[in-house]
């Protein structure tokens, strides 16, 4: 980083420079190693003294009361590149100042004369105060020097010159890092938001333009990350050339850039700016010997019309960006309060899901199902999670509906089946695995083939696999569904009806297919302990009883407390699932979870806690 063009000689707070402070009440005395300099003649310092000051790591200069140089060391000469002519004892302070000022940055040759005079006047005035004082000088050779002057009793002074270039550069680097993106050297997200907050709180008129590159990941995949990084840098360099100096251009992360354009602007002005930004991105990039083509989509939201707080403005810009994305590569869109953005968001999620499958961002967590009478874990339910690179862990409730609407659930479901069977094949032989199926899997894709494939690839016996379906599978009444369910069951796989009791007409479904298990929806369990308690208990009891008569077993899900456990087991549920025993765990924690559940039983029995 280059030293900034700051005024080169600003007084700074006095700084300790290892200089003995001025003795207050003693008589004037010569500095050690010198005879007191006469008025006209400067006596040469002794050789020993010169050798001593030349061992110092800092520059040293000493002047007498007539502002003539008495002595200086080599570091002083080197710091300012001073020629012999101005380091001879007796040289006037004014001549040295003239030389140093001509070597400083921040002022023109024309200004130098005035600065010289000012410098000498300031120096003498500060000297007259009798205290040490400091100033920083920025030299043309790139060095930054801290000068601390200490007045002497005889009216002269000693200057200590410290090269603080590295220190200053490190400080600047830290300051710089706090608000910049290291890859592109644009501002970072934190600084962008800070500026946005500031602008909105001062009620300035601003516009936010948000850019997202199209298909950046495929550039990374095709050409490798170094080319991807080079592309981001190249885009940043081009964008910065289009924006005004006063505006804030930032990389928000990944392949997203955003601009705060300050001041009032017409729709047409913003539109032209958007077009120029997209055009510069869209021009061919030559990177590491390759030609790369990329486009970007852009959204525009402006304050105060589209939002008065950073959150609202950015949310609206985000909606408009998603909308632009759905309009095709290289599109831009203004936020429009009248527009329905919902459908656009679905499309974006669709693209995200596709990528998630490709990038293997899904994982299965497992929640134990506890056989209450056998006092052990009888199996685990596989519950999918999406580890999103930016949004973190996303729960199935937030993406399964979209995956179903877009059809991706078929691939996601097949992956979950395969993964769960492979994981379960490594568990104890008496431990089953339950996998959730979506109704869409019964209508699209080859579910039977996926099930058989998962069993044969994993070697898991069919008896150890359970498939959980919800009433919605039967509700959709697809012609293939019943046949498929029977064929799967004929393999020896158990079919379980999940979330039982939540759909209208639930009982009629029990007649339509021979389910092996019913899983009572957790809403009935949750209400235990509320004013609805009596109804819940009655429902759970009835379901368990009914299931028994139809030769089905029952699981109660969502059991969180000892009281709920007592209620469901007294009602006749054979199996229990819920946070009381364990939350869903990662595959690496299966063995530990089996042990933990066993310990919960032995402790409870010791204390007769469940009686």
Q: How many chain residues are in contact with ligand C2E, going by CB under 6 A?
A: 23
Strand order in the sheet with 206-214: 248-253, 256-262, 206-214, 295-303, 332-334
247 binds, among ligand C2E, Mg ion, none (CB under 5 to 8 A by kind): none
420 vs 364: CA distance, rounded Å: 7
Query: Looking at 212, 584, 587, 590, which residue binds ligand C2E (CB under 6 A)?
Result: 584
Q: Which residues of 503-541 are buried (b: 16+ CB within 10 A; e: fewer)?
A: eeebeebbeebebebbbbbbebbbbbeeeeeeebbebbb
- The answer to whether 149 contacts Mg ion (rule: CB under 5 A) is no
Torsion of CA 581, 584, 587, 590, to 10 degrees: 0
Binding segment toward Mg ion, per CB under 5 A, in 60-68, 402-410, 431-439, 570-578:
431-439
Q: Segment near ligand C2E (CB under 6 A), from 32-40, 340-348, 350-358, 431-439?
A: 431-439
For residues 401 and 409, give the distance between their C-alpha atoms in angstroms, rounded to a whole number: 9
Binding flags for ligand C2E, 343-372, as an x/- string (CB under 6 A): ------------------------x-----
Rank residues 271 and 560 by Cβ distance to Mg ion and give the closer one: 560
Q: Which of residues 560, 561, 572, 604 is near ligand C2E by CB under 6 A?
A: 560
The strand order across the sheet containing 10-12 reads: 10-12, 133-138, 144-151, 157-163, 59-63, 69-72
Distance between CA atoms of residues 382 and 397, nearest Å: 14
Q: What is the CA radius of gyration of the chain?
A: 39
Q: Is 400 in the site for ligand C2E (CB under 6 A)?
A: yes
Query: Is residue 470 involved in binding Mg ion (CB under 5 A)?
Result: no
Is beta strand 133-138 parallel, antiparallel or unpaired with respect to 69-72? unpaired
In SS3 terms, 160-229 reads as: EEEECHHHHHHHHHHHHHHHECCCCCCECHHHHHHHHHHHHHCCCCEEEEEEEEECHHHHHHHHCHHHHH
Q: Report how far residue 149's alpha carbon sits from residue 593's, in angstroms, rounded to the nearest whole number.
A: 72
Q: How many CB atoms lie within 10 A of CB 484?
A: 19
> What's the rounded Cα separation, in Å, for the pair 380 and 597?
12
Q: State which of residues 212, 498, 574, 575 lies at the interface with Mg ion (CB under 5 A).
A: 498
By C-beta, is 96 or 450 nearer to Mg ion?
450
What is the contact mask toward ligand C2E in residues 220 to 259, using x (rule: CB under 6 A)? ----------------------------------------
Task: Report the distance separating Cα 370 and Cα 147, nearest Å.
Answer: 77
Contact range with ligand C2E by CB under 6 A, out of 29-37, 62-70, 454-462, 556-564? 556-564
Which of 23-31, 226-234, 266-274, 433-441 is the region at the interface with ligand C2E (rule: CB under 6 A)?
Answer: 433-441
Considering only 89, 330, 396, 445, the residue that binds ligand C2E (CB under 6 A) is 396
With respect to ligand C2E, which residue has the nearer C-beta, 54 or 395? 395
Q: Does 593 bind ligand C2E (CB under 6 A)?
A: no
The minimum distance between CB 370 and ligand C2E, in angstroms, equals: 11
**Among ligand C2E, Mg ion, none, residue 579 binds (CB under 5-8 Å by kind):** ligand C2E
Q: Cβ distance 522 to 578 under 8 Å?
A: yes
Q: Which is nearer to ligand C2E, 332 or 500 (CB)?
A: 500
Which one of residues 499, 581, 590, 597 is an interface residue with Mg ion (CB under 5 A)? 499
Cβ atoms 219, 227 nearer than 8 A:
yes
Position 485 contacts ligand C2E (CB under 6 A): no
Among 436, 553, 554, 593, binds ligand C2E (CB under 6 A): 436
**DSSP SS3 for 519:** strand
Of the residues 69, 72, 230, 384, which one makes contact with ligand C2E according to CB under 6 A: 384
What DSSP character marks residue 131? S
Name the residues that contact Mg ion, by CB under 5 A. 436, 468, 498-499, 557
Name the residues that contact ligand C2E, by CB under 6 A. 367, 383-384, 395-397, 400, 413, 416, 436-438, 468, 498-499, 557-560, 577-579, 584
């Amino acid at each position: 980083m280059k030293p900034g063009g700051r005024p080169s000689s600003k007084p700074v707070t006095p700084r300790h420079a290892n200089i003995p402070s001025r003795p207050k009440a003693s008589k004037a005395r010569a500095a050690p190693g010198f005879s007191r300099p006469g008025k006209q003649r400067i006596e040469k310092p002794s050789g020993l003294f010169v050798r001593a000051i030349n061992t110092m790591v800092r520059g040293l200069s000493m002047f007498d009361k007539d502002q003539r140089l008495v002595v200086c060391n080599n570091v002083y000469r080197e710091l300012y590149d001073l020629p012999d002519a101005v380091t001879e004892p007796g040289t006037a302070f004014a001549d040295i100042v003239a030389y140093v000022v001509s070597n400083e940055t921040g002022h023109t040759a024309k200004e130098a004369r005035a600065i010289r005079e000012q410098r000498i006047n300031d120096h003498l005035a500060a000297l007259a105060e009798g205290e040490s004082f400091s100033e920083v000088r920025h030299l043309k050779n790139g060095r930054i020097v801290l000068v601390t002057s200490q007045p002497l009793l005889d009216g002269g002074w000693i200057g200590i010159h410290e090269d603080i270039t590295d220190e200053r550069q490190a400080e600047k680097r830290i300051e710089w890092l706090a608000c910049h993106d290291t890859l592109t050297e644009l501002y970072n997200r934190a600084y962008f938001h800070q500026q946005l907050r500031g602008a909105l709180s001062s009620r300035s008129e601003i516009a936010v333009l948000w850019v997202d590159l199209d298909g950046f990941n495929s550039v990374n995949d095709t050409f490798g990350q170094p080319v991807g990084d080079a592309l981001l840098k190249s885009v940043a360099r081009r964008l910065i050339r289009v924006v005004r100096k006063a505006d804030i251009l930032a990389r928000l992360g990944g392949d997203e850039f955003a601009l705060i354009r300050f001041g009032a602007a017409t729709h047409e002005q913003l539109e032209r700016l958007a077009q120029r930004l997209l055009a510069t991105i869209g021009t061919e990039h030559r990177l590491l010997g390759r030609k790369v083509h990329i486009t970007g989509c852009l959204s525009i939201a402006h304050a105060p019309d589209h939002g008065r707080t950073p959150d609202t403005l950015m949310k609206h810009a985000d909606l408009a960006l998603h909308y632009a994305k759905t309009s095709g590569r290289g599109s831009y869109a203004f936020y429009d309060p009248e527009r329905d953005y919902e459908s656009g968001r679905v499309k974006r999620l669709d693209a995200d899901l596709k990528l998630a499958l490709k990038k293997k961002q899904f994982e299965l967590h497992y929640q134990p199902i506890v056989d209450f009478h056998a006092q052990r874990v009888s199996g685990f339910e596989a519950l999918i999670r999406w580890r999103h690179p930016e949004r973190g862990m996303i729960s199935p409730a937030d993406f399964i509906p979209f995956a179903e609407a877009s059809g991706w659930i078929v691939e996601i479901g097949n992956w979950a089946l395969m993964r769960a069977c492979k994981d379960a094949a490594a568990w104890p032989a008496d431990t089953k695995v339950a996998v959730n199926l979506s109704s869409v899997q019964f209508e699209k894709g080859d579910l039977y083939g996926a099930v058989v494939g998962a069993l044969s690839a994993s070697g898991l016996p069919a008896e150890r696999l359970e498939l959980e379906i919800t009433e919605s599978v039967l509700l959709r009444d697809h012609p293939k569904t019943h046949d498929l369910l029977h064929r799967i069951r004929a393999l020896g796989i158990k079919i379980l009806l999940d979330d039982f009791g939540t759909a209208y007409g639930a009982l009629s479904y029990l007649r339509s297919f021979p389910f092996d298990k019913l899983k009572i929806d957790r809403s009935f369990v949750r209400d235990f302990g509320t004013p609805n308690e009596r109804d819940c208990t009655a429902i759970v009891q009835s379901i368990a009883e009914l299931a028994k008569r139809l030769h089905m077993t029952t699981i109660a899900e969502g059991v969180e407390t000892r009281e709920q456990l007592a209620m469901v087991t007294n009602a006749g549920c054979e199996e229990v699932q819920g946070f009381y025993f364990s939350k869903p765990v990662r595959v690496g924690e299966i063995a530990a979870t089996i042990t933990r559940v066993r310990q919960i039983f032995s402790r409870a029995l010791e204390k007769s806690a469940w009686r």
